[in-house]
Amino acid sequence: MKFLDLAKVYLRSGSGGNGCVSFRREKYIEFGGPDGGDGGRGGDVWAEAVDGLNTLIDFRYQQHFFADNGRPGMGRQRTGADGNDIVLRVPVGTEILDEDEETVLADLTELGERVLLAKGGNGGWGNLHFKSATNQAPRRANPGQEGVERTVWLRLKLIADVGLLGLPNAGKSTFLSATSNARPKIADYPFTTLHPNLGVVGIDGREFVVADIPGLIEGAHEGRGLGDLFLGHVERCAVLLHLVDGISGTLLDDFQTIVDEIEAYGAGLADKPRIVVLNKIDALDEEERSFLRDELQAVAGCKVMLMSGASGEGLTQVLRALRNQIEIARNDAREDEDDGSWQP
């Protein structure tokens, strides 16, 4: 299935049905009076987060969603039928933005969460509503209220526990392939990964979700390369795993490039817990490993772990470190929720 994380859709709720002008007509009843019914209400447009979806690809082939109009009222005090609602089924983690692509209308982060995007119009009153002591035969009725037309953007931000960061060919896809059942494309050229991949990783009886996004390059926050399109997918992650290519000749510059990009991107990415890993150590001897780790630690200001996604060396230690950070983040979230200050 092709991955799509941004879609523009056009919505229109149903218009209300018109009220009816009608009078009772029966044999031997000379003055039956008004009996026009009200129009039905127009259908609403809803969005709902459902299970089993991880892409917005369905909205590439259908962009227009129109709810049914309400039926008009009829004689004998019969109210018209309400229009059927329409529901946009979206993946969990979908943001709904206004037409300006900036105003967030809703953020569906929980399964089953629903939001009303366009309310249907009310049905018009029939002439029965206008009967009074001074106007016992009203010949007027209200038209139904018009539906609402609007354009919204759907933006998917994958909900994962760990987000992988690194330059192209830093070994992110290899790490995901080695630790989960995900099978991303792996090759020795930049931008092999063209869309995010998710993998479920297990360690010591615990499972968590890892998101692999296309590699970042300098200027990604300004739209260069592919990374800027997909950085939103790591906004929700509890911890970031920063992989640094150990066989790169510009190792320190590579590290700083990623740090600069996530700081320039904003959205709180720079404040998230981050684990720095020197990758591809299977191509280094012990002396080179020690030297490069010390250099990287001096620049990063934190402990640097050693790992090889290809040979599996150091993978278990990295996964355990990730698991511990995720548990700390989850505990903090639960405490904030108990205090009433947690925000999704």
Mean pLDDT of 150-156: 94
Mean pLDDT of 309-323: 90
Closest residue by Cα to residue 62 from 88, 40, 41: 88
Check the annotation: does 22 bind a ligand: no
Query: What whole-number distance in Å separates Cα of residue 341 and Cα of residue 70?
Result: 42
Check the annotation: does 214 bind a ligand: yes
Is 306 found in the same domain as 236? yes
Check the annotation: does 27 bind a ligand: no
Is 138 found in the same domain as 4? yes
pLDDT at position 215 is 64
Q: What is the CATH number of the domain that holds 189?
A: 3.40.50.300
Check the annotation: does 127 bind a ligand: no
pTM summary value:
0.75
Check the annotation: does 68 bind a ligand: no
Is 323 found in the same domain as 198? yes
Check the annotation: does 172 bind a ligand: yes
Among the candidates 156, 179, 211, a domain finishes at: 156
Q: Which domain, by its residues, includes 181? A: 162-338
Task: List pLDDT tens digits, range 19-53.
Answer: 999 999 888 888 888 999 999 999 999 999 999 88
Domain membership of residue 344 (yes or no) is no
Is 151 found in the same domain as 2? yes
How many domains would you assign to the chain? 2
Among the candidates 125, 156, 187, a domain finishes at: 156
Query: What whole-number distance in Å separates Cα of residue 269 and Cα of residue 232?
Result: 9
Is 136 found in the same domain as 194? no
Check the annotation: does 179 bind a ligand: no
Domain membership of residue 343 (yes or no) is no
Is 140 found in the same domain as 168? no
Check the annotation: does 75 bind a ligand: no
Q: What is the CATH number of the domain that holds 85?
A: 2.70.210.12
Burial class (CB in 10 A: 0-12, 13-18, 19+), 9: buried
- Give the DSSP H or E segment for 270: none
